[in-house]
Amino acid sequence: MAECIIFNDASLPFPPGIDPGDHIKLFFSLLKRANDAQVSLDRAAGSEGRWSALIYSESFSFGEWLNHSLDREERRRVKNIMTKVACPLNPEAKDIIRDRIFVLKEDDSITTNGLGFASVKGASCVSFKSHQRWLKETLEIIEMRAGGESETTHHHEVANISEVAQIEPFLDNIRTMREENTEFFKGLKEQDNSDYPNMLFNKDVLKTLQRPIEVSLYQTQIINVLNKLNQGILTANSLEDLAIITGLDISGESGPTMGNRKFARKRRFSHPTLGTASFEAHVKNFPDAKRMHFLPDYAERKICIGYFGNHLPTMSYPT
pLDDT the model gives residue 62: 95
What is the C-alpha to C-alpha distance for residues 253 and 114, in angstroms, rounded to an integer? 34
pLDDT the model gives residue 1: 72
Q: Give the range among 45-49, 94-98, 242-246 with minimum mean pLDDT.
A: 45-49
User: How confident is the model over 137-163, as pLDDT tens digits?
Assistant: 999 999 998 665 567 889 999 999 999
Over range 239-247, report the average pLDDT: 96
Asked if omega into 13 is within 30° of 0 (cis), the reply is yes
By the 8 A CB rule, do 205 and 305 touch?
A: yes
User: How confident is the model over 119-133, as pLDDT tens digits?
Assistant: 988 899 999 999 999
Over range 199-207, report the average pLDDT: 97
Distant-in-sequence, close-in-space partners of 254: CB < 8 Å, separation ≥ 6: 314, 315, 316
What is the C-alpha to C-alpha distance for residues 225 and 309, in angstroms, rounded to an integer? 14
pLDDT the model gives residue 149: 59
Which is nearest to 106 in space by CA: 155, 151, 141, 158? 141
Pick the more confident residue, 88 or 236: 236
- Mean pLDDT for the chain overall: 92
Distant-in-sequence, close-in-space partners of 200: CB < 8 Å, separation ≥ 6: 190, 191, 271, 272, 273, 302, 303, 304, 305
Return phi, psi of residue 301, to 5°: 60, 50
Q: pTM of the entire structure?
A: 0.76
Distant-in-sequence, close-in-space partners of 165: CB < 8 Å, separation ≥ 6: none
DSSP class per residue in 72-114: HHHHHHHHHHHHHS--PBPHHHHHHHTTEEEEETTEEEEE-HH
By the 8 A CB rule, do 29 and 132 touch?
A: no
By the 8 A CB rule, do 128 and 10 touch?
A: no
Strand partners, 151: 146
- Residue 94: is its pLDDT beyond 80? no
What is the C-alpha to C-alpha distance for residues 88 and 308, in angstroms, rounded to an integer? 25
Which is nearest to 239 in space by CA: 284, 289, 191? 284
pLDDT the model gives residue 48: 61
User: How confident is the model over 36-57, as pLDDT tens digits?
Assistant: 998 989 898 765 668 998 999 9
Which is nearest to 308 in space by CA: 199, 190, 218? 218
